[in-house]
Amino acid sequence: MLTMDRNKMSMLLFLASEIGFFGTLILAYLYYYPSYAEGPNAANSLDPIMAAIFTVALLASSFTLYRAQKSNEHGEQRATRTWLLATVVLGAIFLAGQLWEYINLLNEGVTISGSLFGSTFYTLTGFHGLHVLGGLIAITILLGLAMSGHLNPARAVAVETVEYYWHFVDVVWIIIFGLLYVWPHIS
């Protein structure tokens, strides 16, 4: 009989609930999409090129976390620390990009209470951003453990469990990016 570590199973069950949460937010955005024709909307308010640059940073962070996990699995302490640090930096670049976008939108008058687009946009991307922040906190804890010598192959499940979460957050962003930044410009 196959058994799975309880930590990994718990994370997978949590992520299953998150699918429902983000699915609901995405469906709300799609439901109200026809209402965005007048006023601010994705096509006339968002910068897909800048968002694509920050998306590359987030997606690259999935690779660096994968490399951290593999390095830890092989007992390569220095490489583990380096890859974890790179993951934190790339995730922080993504969050800084999201903050920069929010500041620009607010300066243009696109607020959470100003339009239906603003409400759905800030809710969807804001909750995603909070998930990124939560992941960065977890990865920073892993980095602290690695720096103090307490992260080793025997504790690989910690990195693997956080890795599940981080990859999920990236996949959700790919969907959000396609929906908010690509689709309005091709439809």
- In this structure, what CATH number is given to the domain that contains residue 167? 1.20.120.80
Boundaries of domain holding 154: 47-186
Is there a domain that residue 16 lies in?
Answer: no
Tokens of 42: 């994705």
Is there a domain that residue 4 lies in?
Answer: no
Is there a domain that residue 37 lies in?
Answer: no
Give CA–CA dist 156/117, Å, rounded.
Answer: 42
Question: Mean pLDDT score of the chain, rounded to an integer?
Answer: 94
Is there a domain that residue 172 lies in?
Answer: yes
Is there a domain that residue 68 lies in?
Answer: yes
Is there a domain that residue 12 lies in?
Answer: no
Is there a domain that residue 105 lies in?
Answer: yes
Tokens of 129: 């951003």
Number of domains comprising the chain: 1
Is there a domain that residue 146 lies in?
Answer: yes
Give CA–CA dist 57/37, Å, rounded.
Answer: 31
Closest to 161 (Cα-Cα) out of 3, 14, 2, 1: 14
pLDDT band at residue 4 using 50, 70 and 90 as cut-offs: confident
pTM of the model: 0.93
Query: For the segment 51-96, what is each residue's pLDDT rounded down to a tens digit?
Result: 999 999 999 999 999 999 999 999 999 999 999 999 999 999 999 9
